[in-house]
Amino acid sequence: MKAPLTSVCLVGLGLAMIGSGMACRSAGTVAPPPPPVRTPGPPAVLPEQPAPGTMARNSPPILPDPNLTPGDTLDVTLEDVCTPGYSRKVRHVPIEVKRQVYAEYGIRHHRPGEYEVDHLISLELGGSNSIRNLWPESFETQPWNARVKDALENELHRLVCSRQLDLRTAQQEIATNWIAAYKKYFHTDRPRARDRGRSAPQETAETDTTSEGAAAEGNVQVWVNTRSGKYFRPGMRHYGKTKEGQFMSEAEAIRQGYRAAKGD
């Protein structure tokens, strides 16, 4: 008489636990194989991340990063900002600060005249020289660029000084979104052709004869020595080379009270 299969399995299971360790299985079934042994591979290589407070960037910013550049103002009055020459008197951004601005925005290399370190809230609207109010703005992006924002700054300054717009409102709107402010105050969805201008010239011998039309419109990019109060045209010996200074249009330099250098 054969023993029941259950008994055989129970006996076999007991023996397996004591001896060979084989699992009891019914006829026709196969025990699952043991799980594969995983050998640790090399650690995953993660892409390099920008340091805290900085940002990696493949293209010029159109709007500033609000975490880096929320905007900052001085404690000034309407009479202060509407006084001729005010911006020139308060403008002071050391070259070390400008380098920090470029680094924080992930811009490692740039050509002379490609960018300006711009005051988000312009000086003529009571903006400060704090790094919280500075960002690298391109002259070359289209259709929105540094020239277009300059036109907005001038228009807001005009409205503020003619008492058609409150100074605090102007500061808030340009800091929140300068493109939206441009569209609002110029009543257009795209920059006016005269505001877009031409690309800023590079520091080469050819820049001395870039375009007579640009010179006539005051759109030639000059280098302003913010310490001496003089500006240098393309091709001049000190163009882009003084320790303290920045690029801007010749018309803007004149408007801010800078004088053309002679005999350079």
Compute mean pLDDT per 10 residues along the chain, 264 residues long, and list them. 46 43 45 55 44 53 95 95 90 92 93 91 96 95 93 94 96 97 95 70 30 43 84 80 81 81 70
**Does 13 reside within a domain?**
no
Q: List the one residue out of 92, 219, 76 whose CA is nearest residue 161.
A: 76
**Does 12 reside within a domain?**
no
User: Tokens 């924080």 identify what position?
Assistant: 104
- Same domain flag for 195 and 165: yes
Note the pLDDT of residue 227.
81
- Same domain flag for 97 and 153: yes
Q: Residue 35 class from Cβ within 10 Å (0-12 exposed, 13-18 middle, 19+ buried)?
A: exposed
3-class DSSP state of 75: coil
Work out the number of other CB atoms within 10 angstroms of the CB of residue 47: 5
Note the pLDDT of residue 157.
95
- Same domain flag for 80 and 190: yes
Q: List the one residue out of 111, 217, 195, 184 whose CA is nearest residue 149.
A: 195
Note the pLDDT of residue 32.
56
Task: State the total domains in the chain.
Answer: 2
Of 200, 225, 252, which closes a domain? 200
**Which pTM does this prediction carry?**
0.57
Q: Where are the beta strands (DSSP E) in 139-243?
A: 221-225, 230-232
Of 200, 235, 253, which closes a domain? 200
**Does 47 reside within a domain?**
no
- Same domain flag for 161 and 223: no
Note the pLDDT of residue 153.
95
Contact (Cβ atoms closer than 8 angstroms) between residue 221 and residue 248: yes
- Same domain flag for 158 and 241: no
- Same domain flag for 220 and 181: no
Question: Which secondary structure element, helix H or strand E, spans residue 156, and what is its range?
Answer: helix 146-161
Domain range for 180: 54-200
- Report CA-CA distances (Å) from 226 to 92, 129, 142, 252, 257: 7, 13, 28, 13, 11
Note the pLDDT of residue 197.
63
**Does 180 reside within a domain?**
yes
Note the pLDDT of residue 261.
85
